Amino acid sequence: MYRLLLLLFVLLLPGPPAAAQELELVQNRAFQVTYAVPPHWPLTHQRTDSVEVLRYQSPDDDARLWVGQLRGRHANVPPARALQRLLRHLGATRHEEHQLSSHGLDFLESTGTCFVGGRELRYDARVTTYQGHMLLVYVYATPAVFTTHAPLLHRMLDSLTPQRGK
């Protein structure tokens, strides 16, 4: 009986906390950056005349990481303008902007609320110029997931590192 109760207790324990989830390093030679993402998040690629984006989504589709760069005539816009376009695309309603430095990159960052596909989401978006490219990196998730998985989402954002000397 004791073993049965112990087995039930172990089976009912939640999985690893969000902060403890493993991340897999991705080296993107085209963008000249390295970043980390959960290995079980599927990847899709989108390329238009204005942007190239790698989209990772959680298996439950309640959180996403996008890493991209502006292309063509849009590649040379200043970071503030690139961020405003991104926020307009996301349908951001409330947001705060501030400067942030991480791994030698100077970001303009915005955090707030947006609407994607009719769903209210929380987001954290960053833009920077690196090696002549305007890079975009952002996460968004449902408010509940953003709250419970904030450490994981921020680890993904903070993992963006330039590939030096390439």
Picking from 10-14, 17-21, 131-135, 148-152, which range would have the lowest pLDDT averaged per residue? 10-14
| Per-residue model confidence (pLDDT) at position 25 | 96
CA angle 120, 126, 132 (to 5 degrees): 140
Residue 86 has pLDDT above 90, yes or no: no
Cα separation, 85 vs 103, in Å, equals: 25
| Per-residue model confidence (pLDDT) at position 127 | 95
Q: Who wins on pLDDT, 12 or 111? A: 111
| Per-residue model confidence (pLDDT) at position 165 | 60
Q: Which of 117, 122, 114, 121 is nearest to 93 (CA)?
A: 114
| Per-residue model confidence (pLDDT) at position 15 | 42
Cα separation, 72 vs 34, in Å, equals: 23
Residue 6 has pLDDT above 80, yes or no: no
Query: What does the pLDDT average to over 92-107?
Result: 88
Task: Give the range of the structural domain holding residue 12, as residue numbers without chain letter.
Answer: 2-162
pLDDT tens digits, one per residue of 42-52: 999 999 999 99
| Per-residue model confidence (pLDDT) at position 55 | 96
Query: Domain count of the chain?
Result: 1
CATH number, domain at 149? 3.40.1000.10
